[in-house]
Structure 1
Amino acid sequence: MSKALSHAKITPHRSATRGHSDHGWLNTYHSFSFADWFNPNFTHFGSLRVLNEDRVAPNSGFPTHPHRDFEIFSYIISGELTHRDSMLKKGAEGAQSDKFFRMHRGDVQFTTGGTGIAHSEYNEHNRDTVHFLQIWAIPWKRGLTPRYHTRNFDEEKKRLGFVPILSPLKGGPEATHQQEQAAEPTIDGTIPIHADFVMSAGIIAPQKKFEWVVGANATENTKRKVYIHLPMTKKGKASIRLDGREDVYSEGDGAFIDDVRAGDKLSVESLGEAEAEVVLLDTA
């Protein structure tokens, strides 16, 4: 096995070590300490603070609740999720009506909590469970202006390589008012985030390998951390290997990758019977 990142430390975070709660309407797994589950070994990783893998039953969900000073995003895996927030107005981006945005597979909904925003996330479908990742990042400063974005990321492009989804806002922590209003990401076609942070996703066919360039030529700090998560999408038939190493990661598993630098190349190889949908979070 060829290890290109021999200097990197890769630590598995197995699915069984996640927090887990089944409330009937919500079946949720926590990769990091959240709600009533606390583990001092899993509090954050760089600016990555929360990664929950949620399944919400039909006609149920999270009622309106406030957020502030976090960057919060949902990655829809299957089913549909309806987002309503205190900023949605008639004619706003993605407003399928004057009150909501209904998300499906491939959609990513992003919220800057900033000085305060209230939203709800509800599965209004009568039959289908929604499966999604809820991820929070710590912004580079507090007191930001609340903002939201919704964007769809093409399924077939994810089968060709890692597709960047989030990248830092142009202007960084010292972004001007004009740059905030323009909301331009460092990587074209992505959603801008107020953090030195890149998210990407890929769908890797069995026996195929994707490569990720750490930092994606878009980040400020050259010292990086990368978190990999393999969602539970194929009933246990998907698995991956990182950097040609011996450890095999099954669905629900994650990996902490430390001691990497911008420009390093990380290989992710699909080993299972089914394609592996991999989410990658690259942070300072």
Structure 2
Amino acid sequence: MSKSLSHAKILARRSADRGYAEHGGWLKSFHTFSFASYYDHKFTNFGSLRVLNEDRVAAHNGFPTHPHRDAEIFSYILSGELTHRDSMLRKGSEGAQGKDFYRMKRGDVQFTTGGTGIAHSEQNESDKPVHFLQIWALPWKTGLKPQYHTRSFDEGAKRQGFVPILSPLKGGVDATPKEEADALPMIEGTIPIHADFVMGAGLIGQGKRFEWRVGGGEGVVEKRKKRNVYVHVPMTKGGKAKIRLDQREDAVLSEGDGAFIEGVNVGDVLSVESVGDVEAEVIVLDSD
């Protein structure tokens, strides 16, 4: 088949080649990049994308309170429930979705700016396992004020095309305190991130094709040339989902697989086609 992005290099990262760890019978975690006890010098980051873990946490278990700093950290819930509590949220003050929302289900994304230091816990307080992606990005500068956001993203919209989830803070690297407090993203309806980074998610029906416009469209990101796009297929469809990237027969991904896409520019259009037996869930991480 022809390639619409002939200038792009696409390299698959197969699920079986990822790092893997089990902890105490309650956590099963696949690591795309070096993380904790897993280290591979070839996989430390990709642009500002630093961590992509696919985690399953057993019922009534989870990560106890632990600190973070100088990282943009977000959780994308695939199934089950995950309860987030941190040092900025007083127990008992949890409220409606927004800066006080703390219990997440499918469709929710929880985002934390570690900045100068924040402590949080992530617990599965339900009776069923939770399956989620834990993703970290490197911020464009250190010493940021810690904060967090949570938003829900519509499943129906994800079946129509890629839905933008994260986009850069509109104030940019030199954002004023007011711009930080206002927390306006470059793409309306997304969560603002302190990085030249866009995230999207889609649910691609069998035989259908979605298109990802690199950089999230015109005027969204700063770096226009040679961006780094990582595509991941979570393990949500019992192994029956597959996708094909850029119409390339050598760029077919199964569940758990990902792909490094290098050399693409803002405005390039990446074709993502569902070629498996069922709808494919696809995550796109587009960074500098």
Q: Normalization by structure 2: what TM-score?
A: 0.95
Aligned counterpart for 1:237 among listed residues 234, 237, 240: 240
Distance 2:249 2:278 in 1: 20
Residue 49 of structure 1 is matched in structure 2 by: 50
TM-fit CA distance, 1:276: 0.4
1:93–1:150 Cα contact (<8 Å) kept: no
Q: How does 1:244-283 map to 2 (within 5 A)?
A: 244-247=247-250, 248-283=252-287
TM-fit CA distance, 1:10: 0.3
2:169–2:184 Cα contact (<8 Å) kept: yes
Distance 2:157 2:2 in 1: 27
Distance 2:58 2:113 in 1: 26
TM-fit CA distance, 1:2: 2.6
1:93–1:149 Cα contact (<8 Å) kept: no
Letter in 2 for 1:279: I
Distance 2:283 2:98 in 1: 27
Residue 36 of structure 1 is matched in structure 2 by: 37
**1:79-106, Cα deviation, whole Å (9 max, x unpaired):** 000000001143666379x8x7110000
Displacement over 6 Å in runs of 4+: none
Distance 1:72 1:175 in 2: 19
Distance 2:242 2:97 in 1: 34
Distance 2:165 2:10 in 1: 23
Q: Does 1:228 align with 2:231?
A: yes
Distance 2:152 2:130 in 1: 17
1:161–1:211 Cα contact (<8 Å) kept: yes
Cα distance 1:95–1:221, how it changes in 2: closer, same or farther (>3 A)? Answer: closer
Distance 2:263 2:285 in 1: 15
Residue 17 of structure 1 is matched in structure 2 by: 17
Letter in 2 for 1:16: A
Q: Normalization by structure 1: what TM-score?
A: 0.97
Residue 209 of structure 1 is matched in structure 2 by: 209
Letter in 1 for 2:81: E
TM-fit CA distance, 1:277: 0.4
Q: Does 1:181 align with 2:181?
A: yes
Distance 2:32 2:137 in 1: 13
**1:15-71, Cα deviation, whole Å (9 max, x unpaired):** 011000122100000000000000111100000000000000000000000000000
2:215–2:267 Cα contact (<8 Å) kept: yes
Report the more deviating stretch, 110-119 or 170-179.
Answer: 170-179
- Structure 1: give runs of 5+ residues left out of the alignment: none
The secondary structure found in structure 2 opposite 1:179 is: helix
Letter in 2 for 1:258: E
Residue 221 of structure 2 is matched in structure 1 by: 219
Distance 2:83 2:178 in 1: 30
**1:231-266, Cα deviation, whole Å (9 max, x unpaired):** 000111000000000121100000000000000000
Distance 1:42 1:196 in 2: 20
Distance 1:95 1:191 in 2: 11
The secondary structure found in structure 2 opposite 1:72 is: strand
Q: Percent identity?
A: 68
1:208–1:270 Cα contact (<8 Å) kept: yes
Distance 2:89 2:195 in 1: 24
Residue 118 of structure 1 is matched in structure 2 by: 119
1:66–1:119 Cα contact (<8 Å) kept: yes
The secondary structure found in structure 2 opposite 1:16 is: helix
